[in-house]
Structure 1
Amino acid sequence: MDLDQLAALRTPEGSAALAAAARVAGGDPLAAAAALRSAGVPAGLAAAALTQAELRRRAVGKFGPEADGMFLTRPGLEQATRRVVADRRAARLHAAGVRTLADLGCGLGADALAAARAGIRVYGVEADPVTAAMAAANAEAAGLGAWFTVECGDATAFDVSRVEAVFCDPARRAAGTGRRIFDPNAYSPPWDFVTGLAERVPRTVVKVAPGLDHGLIPAGAEAEWVSVDGDLVEAALWCGALAEVPRRATVLKEGPLLNASGRAGVPSYQPYQLTGSGEIEATVGPVRRFLYDPDPAVVRAHLVAELATTLGGNLADPSIAYLYADERVTTPFARCLEVTDVLPFSLKRLRALLRERRVGRVEILKRGSALEPERLRRDLKLAGDASASLVLTRVAGAPTVLLCRPVPG
């Protein structure tokens, strides 16, 4: 999309085209395009409207109902922060006393809009002209134009002395191709600029990929990993006065459906936080009655040992992040399974055991195993009306399979 197409979508004719596209989005794209053309929508406007309608449909999972009025790009949507995560970050910034914020590389404005909703004045900088224009349009659509303004330019040239805090989400996809960038030095803005912000601004937050090498975490920074309903979605570095602990795992789990009045409507999320140094190691011992599969935020934050302490658990292999305990402890930080059988891995023995138990459906989990779950499922030749969970792992270095059953709750 270019600026002319965006401008066309913001006219009354464009709004009508967007509304028509929304009614046919999600179906056959050729039929949708034909429907808009038959309604008299010019081909170029129809194509732009259909692209936006499809992106908005996909964006509902991240932004909720407000996605229907947003302008989006594919790369921007992929990198944009989920609203529940952005809102929690904005609330933490506001609680820390931040009232003015620079969003360097603001993209489509997801984080800036959250900060603006929290009562923080945001100055956004975005290098791509179309994305910058979309971010401004999104602020206007949300009624936050007075709180969030965008300039198109070089984030590294912004005068950070104008604000109390800085947020930076460096682009991790190559311009033009959309390919993911794994080398932080190739981010935009570059990594040395991003990490240098903490030395210039007392309160700095940097959004990073969840797979960030711990060796790249600046000294004194708090590294936080965030999951939503079991999916690891991002990591952030809280620097300077914003750092509270060395490592934090934030687990967001969907709660009751509520709207602003507390009635059924928009999903609400309950936050759970585990903190620690990220440097201690859990004890190693035997497989016990209950297996705990830690949330990925806990694993990436290197807080498995801290979780083991709360569970009274241990590892069965020093390199595998499954925990084992004798007691069932309710925790938001791990899924619990009850271990019924422990076998050295043998396809023949496992097949015979499942046949004896009349297991016809299996869930397959794995850590530390090279086996491909779907191929194993075929090789097991399952038959029966019972179900089970199979855990492919290592115990004291040896390939092992655990037959388990889920624990309710």
Structure 2
Amino acid sequence: MDLDAFRWLLTAPGQQLLERAASAPADPLRASAALRKDASAEHVAAALTQVELRRKAVAKFGDDAAAMYFTTDGLEQSTRRPVANHRAARLVAAQSATAIDLGCGIGGDLLALAAAGITVAGIDLDPVRVEVARANLAALGLPGAVTVADATTVDHTGFEVAFADPARRGARGRTFDVDDWTPPWPFVQSLLTRTACVKVAPGIPHALVPDDVEAEWVSDHGEVKEAALWSGALVSTRRRATVIGDGGLATLTDEDDSPAAVRTVGDYLYEPDGAVIRAGLVTAVAAGVGGGLVDEHIAYVTADSPFKTPFARSYRVVEELPYREKPLRAALRERGIGRLAIKKRGVDVVPEELRKRLALAGDAEGTLVLTRVAGKGVCLLVEPF
């Protein structure tokens, strides 16, 4: 987005154009033609872009999205509001009064910190993102300062907490090499020698996390897309899995963990949340439900009794069906199952392709779990409870 065009959107005529763009026809060509009567092509494009990005941003920012501003990459990289609120709450619990966001982007985490009552400052190398972050603070009536600066050279010692969200995209797209991050991994390592929080990819290897740093994986309504590294005064454990859902927030740590044995499949099967798996705390779920593992290398837990846990999806095992495709098809047809959800772990199966080959027809629904039990392929018909 052009900086001058965005600044114009913040003026009174720009705000009027934004209002008109929000109620313009859904077809982009018709919308552009209608708005071009009173504005330049550049300004119309900027307004329509904001309307579309606000619509997409509702999934991350809820009702606030209607008043906020975005760039395409800034929205994609920003933290979901519930996750950002959780992080801000951890700073409040640690009695942190000030924080600096080193690479604030469009201000997703900055807004959550400011809303929690923390005095904040944000910096970013991109003047457009800085302008957008500043506009978002103003739009939501939140205090805070934002300026253009280089995170690797700025003096952040005056703030109790330093927060960073390194960009994980290079010239070829998303990168999984920490040395390709911006700022790169050596900067992250230096930041973690003080009280800090760094947002990282959920696939970060455990071996890369320094010994005195807490690694937390967070899922929002069953979807885990990020992790955070906590250092200094913010450390409270070694590994943590936090799940956010309609029922609120729950957290599991390595202090809840204990060894779990491999056992035969019981009456109930538990599918641990992605954050739990990433944190390496599947055995903690097994301990919590009084069960064991179906295989030492598979993230499924089984037990003889039903438990409701926020850390796993719970299923009742209806029966074991044939693992081979032809007799499996016959068994499913015999039961009248025409709509089938297929879950798999540890087996070489493509659910979509298998579903097509089964060519089922019937009125009943079913859930199939294809996995390994003690190293052997197994097919289980289950139902959620």
TM-score by length of 1: 0.91
Q: 1:219 to 1:244 in 2, by over 3 A?
A: same
3-state SS in 1 of match to 2:348 = coil
Q: CA deviation at 1:306?
A: 0.8
Q: Distance in 2 between matches of 1:114 and 1:305?
A: 33
**Among 81, 86, 89, which residue is 1:88 paired with?**
86
Q: Distance in 2 between matches of 1:280 and 1:151?
A: 47
Look up the match of 2:149.
153
Partner of 1:14: 14
C-alpha displacement of 1:281 = 4.8
Counterpart in the other structure of 2:239: 247
Note the C-alpha offset of 1:24: 3.2
Equivalence for 1:120: 118
1:24-43 deviations in Å (ceiling 9; x for gaps)? 37x322222222224x2221
Q: Distance in 1 between matches of 2:246 and 2:308?
A: 17
Which residues in structure 2 correspond to 1:172-187 (within 5 Å)? Answer: 172-174=168-170, 179-187=173-181
In 2, are the aligned partners of 1:278 and 1:302 still within 8 Å (CA)? Answer: no
Amino acid at match of 1:362: L
User: Residue in 2 aligned with 1:100?
Assistant: 98
Q: TM-score, normalised by structure 2?
A: 0.96
What pairs with 1:5-404 in structure 2 (closer than 5 Å)?
5-24=5-24, 27-38=26-37, 40-144=38-142, 147-174=143-170, 179-199=173-193, 201=194, 203-255=195-247, 270-276=248-254, 281-404=259-382
Q: CA deviation at 1:282?
A: 2.8
Deviation digits for residues 218-273 of structure 1, max 9, x if unmatched? 11111111111111132111111111011111111124xxxxxxxxxxxxxx0011
- CA displacement, residues 87-125 of structure 1 (integer Å, 9 cap, x when unaligned): 121121022121111110111111111111111111211
CA distance in 2 between counterparts of 1:246 and 1:118 reads: 25
Q: Following TM superposition, by how much is the alpha carbon of 1:278 offset from its aligned partner in structure 2, in angstroms?
A: 9.2
In 1, Cα distance between the equivalents of 2:236 and 2:211?
Answer: 13
Question: 1 CA distance for matches of 2:277 and 2:253?
Answer: 12
Q: Is the 8 A contact 2:321 2:331 kept in 1?
A: no
- Runs of 5+ unmatched residues, structure 1: 256-269
Q: Deviations 1:2-21 (Å, cap 9, x if unpaired)? A: 21111111111111111111
Equivalent position amino acid for 1:185 in 2: D
Q: Deviations over 1:353-387 (max 9, x none)?
A: 11111111111111112211111111112111111
Matched residue type, 1:314: G
Answer whether contact 1:168 1:206 (CA < 8 A) is retained: yes
* Other structure's SS at 1:361 match: strand
> Residue 241 of structure 2 contacts residue 253 of structure 2 at CA under 8 Å; is this kept in 1?
yes
Contact 1:360 1:385 in 2 (8 A): yes
Question: Number of aligned pairs?
Answer: 385
Distance 2:24 2:323 in 1: 51
Which 10-residue stretch deviates more, 237-246 or 341-350? 341-350
- Counterpart of 1:309, as a letter, is A
Residue type of the alignment partner of 2:2: D
How much does 1:344 deviate? 4.9
Instruction: Deviation per CA, 1:124-149: give whole Å up to 9, x if none.
Output: 110111111111111121222xx311
Percent identical residues: 51
Separation in structure 1 between the aligned mates of residue 331 and residue 86 of structure 2, nearest angstrom: 47
AA matched with 1:31: R
Between 326-335 and 273-282, the greater mean CA deviation after superposition: 273-282
Give, as a single letter, the amino acid of the residue that structure 2 aligns with 1:169: D
